[in-house]
Each structure stands twice: as C-alpha cells, then as structure tokens.
Structure 1
Amino acid sequence: MTDTVLYKRNPSYIPRVAAVHDMCGYGKCSLTAAIPILSAAGCDVCPVPTGLFSAHTRYKVFTFHDTTDILPGYLDAWKQENVELDAVYSGFLGSADQVEIIQRLYAEYPNVLRLVDPVMGDGGELYPTYTQELCDAMGALADGADVLMPNLTEASILTGIEYPGQDIDDATVTSIIDKLLSLGAKSVVLKGIDRNDGKLRNYVATAEDGADGKIELPHEKLPFMTHGTGDAFASALCGAILAGRGLAESAQIAGKFVRDAMVSTRDQPHYEERGVSFELVLGEMTALLSR
C-alpha cells in the first residue's frame, strides 16, 4: 500500500473541521480532546455538541443531556451564515437521530473529508447510553467514509461478527478490515490489537489496495491503561491528516502522540478515571506544521 495523502495543506490556510462529538465537563475525551489536539495541529475546530455530560461514562455518577432537538436549528444558523467546512469529524453520538445530522452535513458540504470514529464501546462492551438502534444507525456512516477508525469492539458491531478479543492473528485482522471496507469505507484504521508481546498494533488499509495491502503500525504498550486514548488517537490522526500527512504516517503520528501522552498521564492524580493527559505533548501536533 502506498501512503495516501487525503488533504493537501496550504501552509497559509487554516482548515475548518466540524467536530461532531459530546462534551464532558470532567474527564478527558470527545470535544475535550478534539478541540485542543486539532487546534494544536493548526485547525479551526467548529464543535457540534451531540450531548452534554457532567463526566464521562466510566464514572459511577454522571448526568447526560441529549442535544438532538437543538441541532437542526444549530445547523440552520450555520447555513444562514454560510459557514465553510473542510472536514467533518464525528464521534460519540447522543441518539440514532443524530446520524441524520451528520448526513445533513455531508449533503450540504459534499466536498468535505468524512472522518468517522464510530464510538460505541470498548473491551467488548457498549457504552451505557448506547442502544441497539443507535449502533445500527451508526453503520450508515461507514459508507463513503474517507477514514473509518474503529476499535475491535466497534468493528465487531459494524460488521456483525462476534467480538474476538484484542489478541487476534493477522488473518483475522485481514478478515475484519475486508468486512469494514465492504461497508463502503474508502480507508480503514483498525485500532488496538494487543497480542500480549509488549506492543499495541494499529492497521491501515484502503479500498484501492484492499485488506491484503494493509500496513501494520506497532507501538510500545505501557503497563497501565486509562480512559480517553481512543479519542486522543482519533483527534491526533485527523489533525495529522489535515496537516497534509499521509494516512499511514498520520496513524503512526497518532499512536506515538498517545503513547507519549500516557507517559505524562501516570504522574497525574486520578488518571485511571480522569483519562489521558495529552496537554504536555501538544507540541508534537504543532510540530506537524513546520514542514
């Protein structure tokens, strides 16, 4: 597979990204990650809040407000103001109806990059606010996605296969990617394969080269886990793509960014619940603009 550049960056232009995600008051994920990480990569982040949480769903106590009812008017106002966009980056959704909100953006901005993180769950389990209806609706975003970036739980939901766990062999990776590409995605970044050998692996493949042409991207696995790494990875991946880097290079950059962020995370209080602390390594994203 040759490394595909999805966005040719004009050094004097700041690309505008609609970030369709929830907002958490406490806990590092979704818009709390997307806004600073994409901004550090030189992007103008335009949030479309899909829900408001007091804290993310790993906490025992959290409040959730579904914003579906306000989003049509929100986008109507954008349309009246002739808001321009270069990319739509979607993640956590508050309801099945919000898939139509994203599809509306695709219709009104037909030339945008479609960057889809199909946030639904992890470790074989759905997030608490997700329903089967919402999971079924999420699959519609795979068709036509310029980049579809699921973890193994989300890949299983999208393809209808049984969750295989994190330790899967190369043939299984190829089979899963093939099924994801068959949904209509133009490229896939499959995240989080863990073979218990001290490395985490992500895989990149395009519809043009097929699953057999996938690229393996290993990173050091640290001896602890924390919340929010998926959102940090996806946001960094999108930032690197919009900095003009190739897709496989962007995935490599995102993996390193998350690994380096986790090193500083371990020194923060309550990091297991609060999530990955990326603030001290945002310079890695800013550095993408230097060439």
Structure 2
Amino acid sequence: MSYPKGTVMHKSSSIPVVLTIAGSDSGGGAGIQADIKAISATGGYAASVITAITSQNTLGVTDILPIPLAHIESQLDAVFGDLNIVAVKIGMLADSDIIHLVADKLRQYRPQFIVLDPVMVATSGDLLLKQSAISSLKECLLPLADIITPNLPEAAALTGLEQPNNADEINDMVLSLRQLGTSAVLLKGGHLEQSSYSDDLLITQNEIHQLSAERIDTINTHGTGCTLSSAIASFLAQGDDLQQSVSHAKEYITLAIGSADKLSVGQGRGPVDHFFMLHQSK
C-alpha cells in the first residue's frame, strides 16, 4: 500500500465515523491526540470520549486528572446519540468504574466493531491498572472486542504469565491468549528489541498470521500502540476485513515510525509522523 500526497482513503460516499475512548496526552503524541491523527490520516472521521487528562510531553507524565464518571457517560451518550459510529477504539480507562460504564454503553449502543488497546503497563514496567481493574477489563470488555492489541508486557498482565523474551516464549503464550474470550488478539512484538524485525502475531481461534516489518532505529516511537489500534479501527470502519485492517494498519504505523525523525518534536521520545504522506515530497 502507498500513500501518495492528497490521497483520500475512505471508500464510501459518506466518511465512516470512528470513536476513540481514551485519555488525553497534552504533548500530542499518544492517547486521544494520536488516535484522532491516525483515524484522520487513514480516511476515517474521528470522534472522542476523554477518560482522563494528563500533563504529559515527550519526557514523561507529570500529572493525571480523571474525568468524572457522569461526564464520561454524558460524552458517550452525546456522540452515540447523534453520530453513526461504525467502529470504536478503546485505550486508557483508568479504573473499574470506567470500565464497567464503557462496557454498559457499548452493549447499549452496539457499534459494529470494537478494537481494544489494553493500556495497562507503563514503559517503566509499572502497572497502570490495579489488579481489580484488570479483572474488570477481562470480564466486561474483552468479550465485547473484535480484537485486542496488547504488547508483550500487557499480554503478560492479561494472562498471568511471564513476559516473553523470545519467539518460542511468545508461541507458548498463544493458548492462554486464546482463552481470554476475545475474537482475535494482535500480539505486538516490539518489545523484543534484540530482534532486527518487529514481528506481530494476529491470533484467532483457528489461525495465526505473522506480520513482519524491519525494525527502525529511532527513539521516536511515542504513541505507536495508540496509533496502530486506531488505524485498525479506521480500516475496519471502511470495510476491510480483520486481516486486511491489521495488515494495512501495520504498514501505516511502520511508515509513520520510519518518518518520525523528520518531526524533531520535544527533547525525549518523540511522536511518530501520523501524516507522513503529506511530507513525502519535502
């Protein structure tokens, strides 16, 4: 797939609406901001429900302000009550109460596709969700999702297994991931930094598809998980099947990472280049 300058990627006469439910990143690299960029860049129309506001930049997170539960509910009712939301991407939910609320609203409004990025583990390795909230996530949201997109630390937290350190240990985790009760899992292998390739596994109940891309030497990977899951939701909303959506999203994030160093944003781990297609001729 190529993305020539000016390409419009949505296939229907009306643009498909994709809702992101996640936290806000004031630095613009991850969370709601990355989701909106990725959905827009891949041809969807992005709506949002914000679950928390962070004080954040490329150097880290300095403060988090949770959104009151009643206002999260009113945001959900507002967007679902007016917009024809085809796909939903779910990111940071913070606690069990928010998880239960989002699950209830998804059962009420029944969007066609649900993509869950289980944001649970910080780059430092610290858990961002309490164990009770992880249990709520597994019980309430995973059964509703068409696909979940954990990285290796998140997959370990979901399954209770040790984090894999090589391809054999990743393969040993497949059965436990299939037993989580979701339709499909995209297990992201980006944390295997000793590998020269970034290999992801699309795991369904009957098949495993490997998606491979050469690892790109850059520190500017802030927001890759948010971006990838949002792109999957966007492609699903446009009519691609699951395997096509994951493949197209993998190609999109690879190109966005490959162009990330051109942005030179911030002093730490910068964002990927969501709109790399606009910079191809520069």
Distance (Å, rounded) in 1 between the aligned partners of 2:119 and 2:278: 23
Partner of 2:170: 173
Does residue 277 (structure 1) correspond to residue 276 (structure 2)? The answer is no
> Paired residue for 1:91?
91
Q: How big is each residue's C-alpha offset from its partner over 1:214-233, in whole Å with a ceiling of 9 and x where there is no partner?
A: 01111010123332111121
Superimposed CA distance per residue, residues 228-273 of structure 1 (whole angstroms, 9 cap, x where no aligned partner)? 1111211222222222223233222222222222222223143642
1:71 corresponds in structure 2 to: 72
The verdict on how the C-alpha distance between 1:112 and 1:250 changes in structure 2, with shifts beyond 3 A counting, is closer
- Per-residue CA deviations over 1:63-112 (Å, capped at 9, x if unaligned) read 21101432123334456x45432222101113221111221222212252
Aligned residues of 1:227 and 1:272 also touching (Cα < 8 A)? no
Residue 137 of structure 1 aligns with an amino acid whose one-letter code is: S
- On the 8 A contact 2:115/2:232 being kept in 1, the answer is no
Kindly indicate whether the alpha-carbon contact (under 8 Å) linking 2:91 and 2:118 is maintained by their aligned counterparts in 1. Answer: yes
C-alpha displacement of 1:276: 1.9
Percent of aligned positions that are identical? 25
Q: Which residue of 2 aligns with 1:152?
A: 152
Structure-2 change in CA distance of 1:223 and 1:239 (3 Å): same
Match of 1:191 in 2: 188
The structure-2 alpha-carbon separation of the partners of 1:271 and 1:179, relative to structure 1 and needing over 3 Å to count, comes to farther
- Calculate the aligned-residue CA RMSD, in Å: 2.6
Secondary structure at the aligned position of 1:142 is classed as helix
CA pair 218-152 structure 1, distance change in 2 beyond 3 A: same
List per-residue Cα deviations over 1:97-139 (Å, max 9, x = no partner).
1111221222212252121111112567135x53333323222
What secondary structure does 1:13 align onto? Answer: coil
Deviation at 1:62, TM superposition (A): 1.9
Q: Report how far residue 51 of structure 1 moved.
A: 0.5
- Structure 1 counterpart of 2:89, one-letter code: Y
Aligned to 1:204: 202
Deviates more, 1:250-259 or 1:20-29: 250-259
Partner of 1:219: 213
For 1:249, the equivalent position in structure 2 comes to 244
| In structure 2, distance between residues paired with 1:272 and 1:262 | 15
Match of 2:51 in 1: 50
Structure 1 residues 282 and 66 mapped into 2: Cα distance closer, same or farther (>3 Å)? farther
- Residue 122 of structure 1 contacts residue 151 of structure 1 at CA under 8 Å; is this kept in 2? no
For 1:162 and 1:46, the matched residues in 2 are separated by 36
In structure 1, the gaps of 5 or more residues are 1-8, 285-291
Residues 282 and 249 of structure 1: CA distance in aligned 2, closer, same or farther (over 3 Å): farther
Q: Structure 2 vs 1, CA of residues 266 and 137 (structure 1 numbering), >3 Å: closer, same or farther?
A: same
Structure 1-normalised TM-score? 0.81
The Cα of 1:188 is off from its aligned counterpart by 1.2
* C-alpha distance in structure 2 between counterparts of 1:224 and 1:77, whole Å: 40
> Contact 1:177–1:188 at 8 Å: present in 2 too?
no
- Cα contact 1:67–1:94 (8 A) shared by 2: no
Give the structure-2-normalised TM-score: 0.83
Query: Partner amino acid for 2:208?
Result: K
